[in-house]
Amino acid sequence: MKKMPIIFDMTFDNEGEREVLHTIRTEIRNLVNSTLAEGGHIIPTFKRDGTAVFCDADGKWFARRAVKTGKQAPEGFIALETDPNTGATFGWEPKESSPMKKFLDRAIKKFIQDNGAEPPRNTTFELLGPKINGNPERVDAEELRIHGQEKATDFPSIQDILDSDEPFEMLKPIFADFRAKHIEGVVFWIADADGNLIEPRFKVRCKDFFPEMDTRPKPSRNRRQRGRGKRR
C-alpha cells in the first residue's frame, strides 16, 4: 500500500519542524475535479492507526515493511515505492519473516471467530493490537479492519471542503473530536459512479491539526528544502 499525501500543503523550517498550511494541494484539487467531472465519487473512510497488512489472491499474508538504503530486503519482499528523500523502499514482507507474524496470526483467528469466515483475499487491512504502534486505538486484542470499510458518513463532502474559504479551520473541530475518540484520521478514496471503492488517494489526520501529536523523527535536509505551498 503506497504512501498517500495529506490534503493540505506542507513546509518545513530549518530545524526540520513540519508545518501544515491552510491551503489545499493543487494536485488534489485537480484530482477531485477530474474525478467528479467523469462521474466518479470521492468517499471519506476512517483511517485506523496500526500497521498495514495484505492477503493476496492465493491467501498468502504480508505485512508492511520499510527497507532503508543499504539494507537488504527480506526474501519474498514485494517493493511498492521508494521515498526519493530518504531512499527507503516501502512494500510487503511475507508474514513468516515479519515481526508482526504472531500478532497477525491472532488477528486472523479472531476475524474468523467473529465473522464465521476467513478474511477476504486480495484485500488490505489495518492490523491493530495492544503491542502495535503504541496502540493509539486502545484495543484490547489484535484485530483486522478492512481498509475502506468504515465510511465516514457524517464527514463533510470533499466539495464542501474545497469550496470553503478556510478548510483547515472548518475541519479542525471535527478532528479534535476524532482525537478524543482515538481515531487517527480520514482517507479519501476514488469510487466509481456506483460508489464502489477503487483506490485510496489522499488523507487528513489528527496530527495535521495538532503538531504535538507528531512524534516521528525529523525529516532529512532534502525533504525540508522541498517544503510545499505558501505560508499563511
User: What pLDDT score was predicted for residue 219?
Assistant: 53
**Matching residue, cell 491472532:** 106
- 15 vs 97: CA distance, rounded Å: 37
Cell (9 digits) for 135: 496502540
Q: Give the residue ranges of the chain where pLDDT is below 50.
A: 223-232
**pLDDT of amino acid 3:** 80
Q: Residues with Cβ < 8 Å from 119, sequence gap 6 or more?
A: 55, 108, 111, 112, 125, 144, 146
Residue 155 per-residue DSSP state: S
Q: What pLDDT score was predicted for residue 85?
A: 72
State pLDDT tens for residues 11-49.
Answer: 887 776 778 999 999 999 999 999 999 999 999 999 999
What does the alpha-carbon distance between residue 158 and residue 170 come to, in Å, rounded to a whole number? 12
DSSP β-bridge partners for residue 202: 188
Angle ∠(83,63,192) on CA atoms, nearest 5: 75
User: What is the model's pLDDT at position 166?
Assistant: 97
